[in-house]
């Protein structure tokens, strides 16, 4: 037998063996997967559980007090244990919430979102989420092309310019804007305030307001921007307001309202509150610490 | 916006035996960090003036002496160095047997007008029970101990009971048992006056003996007092009432729950916490003897007895410092609409199509007695803009049909500003007051004060609490 023949033989043997193994493993896998898919239907989504109403301690001595303590804080208290470590579902839920937060930072607001609310859509110098996260300076600037879209799409010198941006949470925009924006515009228009065309900025930082302000010269700009998500909520939004927004304005000139989400100030109510706060800024002609 | 605001609050308690006045200072502050929507809370309550304990003046057994009462208040204001115009808020409460006098309502309302711009007149045994329990510190104690505490306020004419479960009042009762239902001459030790509830008890036990010797009188009184205290026992222990109890129990809305402890307040409580008195007739009444009967009762032996922060001053302190709430800070108030007094809380009905409607419930209050009413918006399944818009549309159809102005709406969720702004858009000509942050129950009445300086929040007093049976 030549060397070539014996090699062929060995390879054939090997292939046969692999085939056999593959068949075995696939049949084995199917044995395993069939019941597991059945189980999956019954597994509840851990993230759906309301942690503040989820009592993990078996047979608590004082159940009503335990419930009261749980309801008093969104923190993960009273989670019980298995030996010295947390229960599996506690650990999994922690990781699930962490994943939700990460998704919210890294996720994108859908392409068609700005058009749905008649917003002019812009993008900062950041070309990707990675660049956005590592280069805060680029998230405050617009290139010539985007400046051109801005000039063409938005009237200059509005009393109030509304800007929406994903910031660090795309989920915050999707969750809050549908309720916040109509309440805000209704409130402002009710007080006789003329609004510019709402702008959406992808990959934006708060101070992109300055760049837009420099171009459009509104009296007041307000930017509704996603907050850095935490384990409690990934949908929290902030509103930063500036009187006479322009390049070089300092942070202390901005008024901020944070914690806009279901568990904080509900979006619709926040919109109404922002309307009267912006009216005050217009009347006093100052924002930030100068407003106090 | 961390500016502090203060309100001067007066509390006046016109009771069966005594009339008292306290002036307190309520400090209000925005408790939220600067970057968040403000939330104003009462951060501190301090007593700036504690008046003397006066005997409630009567013209005769059936009439309160209004002029003398006003005189007492005027003198106390003078001693405290305040003028009625400086009083921001507060309450006058007419309590116990005095509330039953023929001219009680008339007197107290004229006194409220004199006492200050936004001082409310209140009465009602249930509210009195709650106020006493707040003033005695029982409410705070139940919160601190995470327990259910009963406050038993024993006054001259009535014993007012309130249960506080972890800081929340869950029920009240009022029983015609008090230290001044019998009056006694301190020299001769003879009875000089027996009030009608006491007479009923006396008749029950001594139907035939109207002529008694002075020695017997003491034992007769003690028998009656024991019987009265036993009645309170049965109410608290949820035992079936006896025939003679029914003469005494005025209201009983106590839930059947296990209580963890008891706090005594009121004038009689002093002798429960400081026993060993030798001179029984020091007040010319049976207060100390009643205290003794309470100490020998099953209430005293079955429950942990806690000492509150106040005894005789509990009700007046409660009236002065514990009646005011603060609304949410995101609300809608049309100009020049406040203050408002005595608004009945009107709950909506659900219509067949799952919508809310206030029209039917509002018909119960078309009486000209009410200037306007407060429409309650119960908790909605969500606070989306569209949900609020559809609610506002319903309200805008119904509000013009409901009498009174301004239109007052109290939401049980944080939506008052957006709801108010939507209503203003839909009904531009109608003045609107839209509040949240105030918990209301069916049967409540509320008074709304002027907005706080630099804040949108308004002080609100909720009155006449009724508990579900």
Residue B112 has pLDDT above 80, yes or no: no
Which residues, other chains included, contact B74 with Cβ-Cβ below 8 Å and sequence gap of 6+? none
Angstrom distance (rounded) from CA B235 to CA B172: 11
Angstrom distance (rounded) from CA B136 to CA A82: 45
Which stretches of chain A drop beneath a pLDDT of 50?
25-36
Core vs surface per residue A245-255: b (16+ CB within 10 A) or e: beeebeeebbb
Kindly list the strands in the beta sheet with A254-260, ordered across the sheet, starting from the edge strand earlier in the chain.
Answer: A120-123, A199-202, A160-165, A220-226, A237-243, A254-260
- Residue A2's pLDDT is what? 63
Cβ contact B171:B253 at 8 Å: yes
How far away is chain B from the Cα of A191, in angstroms, using its nearest Cα?
10
Taking Cα atoms as reference points, which of A229, A88, A215 lies closest to residue A155?
A: A215
The alpha-helical segments, DSSP class H, found in B94-135 are 104-115, 125-135
Residues B143 and B270 both lie in one domain: yes
Residue B364 has pLDDT above 70, yes or no: yes
Residues B63 and B108 both lie in one domain: yes
Rounded mean pLDDT, B279-299 = 89
- Residue A31's pLDDT is what? 44
Q: Do A272 and B385 touch (CB under 8 A)?
A: no
Within-domain flag for B131: no
Q: Do B418 and A65 touch (CB under 8 A)?
A: no
Decide which of B54, B89, B123 is a domain's last residue: B123
Decide which of B93, B123, B153 is a domain's last residue: B123
Which helix H or strand E contains A71, and what residues bound it? helix A63-71
Cβ contact B40:B7 at 8 Å: no
Residues B161 and B283 both lie in one domain: yes
The domain spanning residue B247 has which CATH number?
A: 3.30.420.40
Total CB pairs under 8 A between chain A and B: 76
Q: Domain range for residue B412?
A: 318-466
Residues in A touching B389 (Cβ below 8 Å): 182
Residues in B touching A270 (Cβ below 8 Å): 37
Core vs surface per residue B99-111: b (16+ CB within 10 A) or e: bbbeebeebbeeb
Residue B466 has pLDDT above 60, yes or no: no
The domain spanning residue B458 has which CATH number?
A: 3.50.30
- Residue B178's pLDDT is what? 92
Within-domain flag for B101: yes
Q: Do A269 and B383 touch (CB under 8 A)?
A: yes
Q: B74 vs A214, B2, B54, B78, CA distance in Å?
A: 64, 36, 13, 6
Residues in A touching B145 (Cβ below 8 Å): none
Which residues, other chains included, contact B226 with Cβ-Cβ below 8 Å and sequence gap of 6+? B293, B296
Residue B352 has pLDDT above 80, yes or no: no
Would residue B336 be called left, alpha or beta, if left means φ above 0 and alpha means ψ between -120 and 50 degrees?
left
Q: Do B421 and A187 touch (CB under 8 A)?
A: yes
Which residues, other chains included, contact A177 with Cβ-Cβ below 8 Å and sequence gap of 6+? A117, A164, A224, A267
- B49-80 pLDDT, tens digit per residue, is 999 989 989 888 888 888 898 899 999 999 99
Within-domain flag for B130: no
Residues B55 and B84 both lie in one domain: yes
Residue B469 has pLDDT above 50, yes or no: no
Within-domain flag for B382: yes
Residues B334 and B440 both lie in one domain: yes
Residues B323 and B454 both lie in one domain: yes
Angle at B116 between CA B112 and CA B122, to 5 degrees: 30
In chain A, helix, strand, coil percent, each to 5?
Answer: 55, 15, 35
Within-domain flag for B312: no
Residues B221 and B332 both lie in one domain: no
Taking Cα atoms as reference points, which of B83, B94, B91 lies closest to residue B119?
A: B91
- B174-205 pLDDT, tens digit per residue, is 999 999 999 988 888 888 888 888 888 888 88
DSSP A195: B
Q: What is the pTM of this model?
A: 0.78
Could you tell me what percent of chain B has a pLDDT over 70? 93
**Strands A199-202 vs A160-165: parallel, antiparallel or unpaired:** parallel
- B32-53 pLDDT, tens digit per residue, is 887 888 888 888 888 889 999 8
Asked whether the ipTM of the predicted complex exceeds the cut of 0.90, the reply is: no
- Length of chain B in terms of residues written: 469
Taking Cα atoms as reference points, which of B401, B403, B392 lies closest to residue B426?
A: B392
Residues B294 and B260 both lie in one domain: yes
Gyration radius of chain B over CA positions: 24
Gyration radius of chain A over CA positions: 27
Within-domain flag for B133: no
Residues B44 and B89 both lie in one domain: yes
Within-domain flag for B129: no
Within-domain flag for B128: no
Residues B408 and B348 both lie in one domain: yes
Residues B149 and B270 both lie in one domain: yes
Q: Do B37 and A265 touch (CB under 8 A)?
A: yes
Number of domains in chain B: 3
Establish whether the linkage from the previous residue to B406 is cis, with ω within 30° of 0. Answer: yes
Model confidence band, residue B465 (pLDDT cutoffs 50, 70, 90): very low
Residues B388 and B271 both lie in one domain: no
Model confidence band, residue B235 (pLDDT cutoffs 50, 70, 90): very high
Decide which of B273, B306, B339 is a domain's last residue: B306
- Residue A1's pLDDT is what? 56
B49 forms bridges with which residues in the sheet? B23
The sign of the CA dihedral B281, B286, B288, B292 is: positive
């Amino acid at each position: 037998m030549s060397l070539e023949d014996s090699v062929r033989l060995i390879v054939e043997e090997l292939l046969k063996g692999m085939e056999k193994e593959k068949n075995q493993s696939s049949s084995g896998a199917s044995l395993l997967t069939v019941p597991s898919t059945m189980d999956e239907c019954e597994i509840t989504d851990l993230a759906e559980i309301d942690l503040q109403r989820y009592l993990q301690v078996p047979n608590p001595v004082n159940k009503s007090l335990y419930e009261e303590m749980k309801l008093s804080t969104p923190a993960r208290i009273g989670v019980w244990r298995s030996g010295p470590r947390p229960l599996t579902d506690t650990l999994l839920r922690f990781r699930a919430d962490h994943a939700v937060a990460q998704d919210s930072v890294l996720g994108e607001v859908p392409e068609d979102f700005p058009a749905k609310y008649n917003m002019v859509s812009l993008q900062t110098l950041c070309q990707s989420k990675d660049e956005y996260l590592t280069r805060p300076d680029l998230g405050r600037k617009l290139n010539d092309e985007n400046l051109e879209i801005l000039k063409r799409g938005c009237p200059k010198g509005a009393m109030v310019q509304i800007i929406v941006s994903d910031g660090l949470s795309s989920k915050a925009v999707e969750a809050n804007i549908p309720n916040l924006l109509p309440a805000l515009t209704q409130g402002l228009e009710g007080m006789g305030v003329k609004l510019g065309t709402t702008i959406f900025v992808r990959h934006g930082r708060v101070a992109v307001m300055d760049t837009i302000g420099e171009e459009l010269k509104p009296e007041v700009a307000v930017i509704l921007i996603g907050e850095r998500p935490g384990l409690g909520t990934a949908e929290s939004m902030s509103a930063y307001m500036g009187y006479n927004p322009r390049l070089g304005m300092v942070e202390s000139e901005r008024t901020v309202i944070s914690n806009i989400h279901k568990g904080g100030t509900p979006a619709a109510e926040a919109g109404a509150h922002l309307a009267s706060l912006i009216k005050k800024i217009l009347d006093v002609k100052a924002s930030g610490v100068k407003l106090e | 916006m961390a500016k502090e605001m203060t309100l001067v609050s007066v509390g006046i308690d016109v009771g069966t035996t005594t009339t008292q006045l306290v002036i307190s200072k309520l400090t209000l502050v925005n408790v939220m960090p600067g970057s968040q929507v403000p939330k104003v809370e009462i951060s501190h309550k301090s007593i700036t003036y504690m008046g003397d304990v006066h005997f409630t003046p009567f013209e005769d057994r059936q009439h309160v002496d209004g002029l003398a009462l006003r005189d007492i208040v005027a003198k106390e204001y003078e001693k405290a160095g305040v003028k009625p115009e400086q009083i921001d808020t507060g309450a006058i409460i007419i309590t116990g047997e005095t509330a039953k006098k023929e001219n009680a309502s008339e007197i107290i309302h004229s006194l409220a007008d004199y006492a200050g711009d936004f001082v409310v007149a209140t009465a009602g045994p249930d509210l009195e029970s709650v106020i006493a329990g707040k003033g005695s510190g029982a409410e705070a104690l139940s919160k601190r101990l995470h327990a259910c505490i009963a406050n038993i306020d024993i006054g001259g004419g009535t014993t007012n009971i309130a249960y506080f479960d972890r800081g929340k009042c869950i029920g009240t009762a009022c029983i015609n048992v008090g230290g001044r239902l019998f009056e006694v001459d301190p020299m001769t030790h003879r009875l000089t006056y027996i009030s009608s509830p006491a007479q009923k008890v006396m008749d029950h036990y001594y139907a035939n003996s109207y002529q008694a010797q002075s020695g017997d009188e003491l034992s007769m009184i003690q028998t009656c007092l024991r019987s009265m205290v036993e009645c309170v026992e049965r109410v608290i222990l949820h035992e079936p009432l006896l025939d003679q109890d029914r003469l005494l129990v005025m209201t009983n809305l106590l839930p059947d729950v296990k209580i963890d402890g008891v706090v005594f307040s009121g004038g009689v409580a002093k002798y429960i916490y400081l026993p060993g008195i030798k001179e029984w007739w020091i007040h010319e009444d049976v207060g100390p003897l009643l205290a003794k009967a309470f100490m020998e009762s099953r209430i005293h032996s079955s429950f942990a007895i806690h000492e509150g922060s106040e005894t005789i001053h509990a009700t007046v302190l409660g009236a002065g410092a514990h009646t005011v709430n603060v609304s949410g800070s995101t609300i809608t108030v049309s100009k020049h609409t406040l203050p408002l007094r005595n608004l009945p809380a009107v709950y909506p009905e659900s219509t067949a199509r799952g919508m809310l409607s206030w029209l039917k419930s509002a018909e119960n209050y078309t009486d000209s007695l009410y200037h306007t009413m407060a429409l309650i918006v119960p908790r909605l399944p969500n606070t989306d803009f569209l949900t609020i818009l559809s609610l506002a549309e319903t309200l805008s159809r119904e509000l013009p049909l409901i009498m009174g102005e301004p239109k007052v709406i109290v939401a049980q969720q944080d939506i008052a500003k957006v709801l108010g702004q939507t209503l203003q858009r839909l009904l531009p000509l109608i003045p609107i007051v839209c509040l949240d942050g105030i918990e209301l129950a069916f049967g409540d009445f509320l008074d709304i004060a002027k907005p706080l300086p630099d804040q949108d929040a308004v002080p609100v007093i909720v009155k006449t609490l009724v508990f579900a049976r």
